[in-house]
Amino acid sequence: MRKHLCSSIQWILALILFGFIVKYTGIMQAQEVGTQTLERKALSASELILKMNESSRWDQVESTYAAVEVSLIDAAGNVGTLRLIQYGKRVDDKQSDGKQGDTIQGADAFMSLVQFVAPASLKNTRFLSRDGSQWVYLPALKKVRRVASADKNSSFMGTDFSYGDMSFDYTPEGYGYDILREELLFGDDCYVLESRVIAPKDEQYDRTFTWVSKTSFLPRKTEFYKDGAHIKTLTIEDIKTVQGHLTPIKTRMKTEATGHQTILSIKGFVYNKELPAALFSKKYLQTGAL
């Protein structure tokens, strides 16, 4: 495993982390939750989807700073652990080369730098993602290396996330939606939302069931299906309010066929901290100095 780590594979967990934070964090002002709670009755599927989209106020975030532990657990209970620090900063529109009128959405709107803390063989390995490109600095090789992104079905080595999982949209076009029922999950009243593909292409999954919190409109659990087979299950087991933002603290992705699981545990998180732009440069990537 260590060889793989050093040979530049598991730094891709950087993408897991950042994509995950962007995708699943409910950027919701705490005071709004109460209001929305009053509206929870008689929601249609389309209204629920609208609420979910509204709750993801990622545009209010200028930067993130997170400390994360990634646990890889096999069916026999063997655990491997990675620890890393992640910095994210919104791309300055003036710096981006997007044409006037273009808006950069989701993870693409951010630069991200991930620095591994553990295991020892990965320490000081840094991963930079900006402008649609990725570079990794491997201390063992003493150089910065541009790296390719894998296809959406490819999983990160040893983890249960795929690239497609990171860009998975709960409410994409070309899907049909239904609210099936209401259930209690992790002490949270939830709608169970079914989404199914209408015009199949090369989707990673053709049907999902998502448990959406009635109060925060955050997804708490999602089951992913393909051709009738239950492929994976994602659960957000713990959510906390950080600086007024609801943030997933513990997330588990399980591959049903193997029983293998990946747990992302956020050990610390700060929003909108002043992060120097120099953090997202080759200088920091290579030297660790600002």
Partner 1 sequence: MPSRVLKLCILLLSCLCLLWGTLLWASEASDELAGFGEGFGDAASFGDDDTSLASKPRPLGFSGSLRVPLLLYIDAAGLRSQSAKDYLKTHGEAFLDGSLLTELKLGAWNAHLQMGALRGRFQLQEAKVQYSIGDFVFDLGYMKQVWGKADTAHVFSLINSYNPTEQYYSALSPRSYVDSLKSELMFRSSWYYNDMGQLQIVYAPFFTPDVLDVNGRWAYPLPEAYRFSAPFIKAALADARPRPFSKGQYGQLGLYVTNTFLDSLDLGFAYYWGHFPTPSLSFAAPSTTTSGVTAAGGFVPGTTASSASKTMLELSYDPLHVLALDAGTTLGPVGIRAEFAYYLTPDFRGNNPAVHNNQINYSLGLDWMRDSLMLLVEMQGSHVLNPSTMSAMEFLTRRHATEHTIRAKLSNSFINNQLTLSTQVQWHIQDRGVMLALELAYRLHEDMELAWKTVYLGGHESSLYAYWAQNSYTGLELRCSF
Ranges within 225-254 binding partner 1 (CB under 8 A): 240, 242-243, 249
Instruction: Determine the interface stretch with partner 1 among 34-42, 52-60, 64-72, 209-217 (rule: CB under 8 A).
Output: 64-72
Cα separation, 43 vs 173, in Å, equals 20
Number of residues that bind partner 1 (CB under 8 A): 74
Site for partner 1, residues 149 to 188, rule: CB under 8 A: 149-151, 154-158
Q: Is 257 in the site for partner 1 (CB under 8 A)?
A: no
Q: Please state whether beta strands 245-255 and 188-197 pair in parallel, antiparallel, or not at all (unpaired).
A: unpaired
104 binds partner 1 (CB under 8 A): no
CA separation for the pair 119, 83 (Å, rounded): 7
CB 252 within 8 A of CB 263: yes
Among 16, 28, 72, 190, binds partner 1 (CB under 8 A): 72
Residue 35 vs 100, nearer CB to partner 1: 100
Contacts 24+ apart (CB under 8 A), 139-145: 140/6, 144/282, 144/285, 144/286, 145/8
Between CA 89 and CA 250, with CA 138 as vertex, the angle to 5 degrees is: 50
Closer of 43 and 85 to partner 1 (Cβ): 85
* Other CB atoms within 10 A of residue 1 CB: 13
Dist CA 126 CA 108 (whole Å): 19
Q: Which of 120, 184, 227, 228 binds partner 1 (CB under 8 A)?
A: 120
Q: Would you count residue 60 as binding partner 1 (CB under 8 A)?
A: no
Determine which residue in the list 37, 44, 47, 123 makes contact with partner 1, applying CB under 8 A.
123
CA distance 163 to 53: 21
DSSP label of 201: S
135 or 217, CB closer to partner 1?
A: 135
Give the nearest distance from C-beta 244 to partner 1 in angstroms: 11
Q: Which part of the chain contacts partner 1 (CB under 8 A), choosing from 30-38, 46-54, 133-141, 192-200?
A: 133-141
- Per CB under 8 A, 273 contacts partner 1: yes
Is the CB of residue 279 less than 8 Å from the CB of residue 88?
no
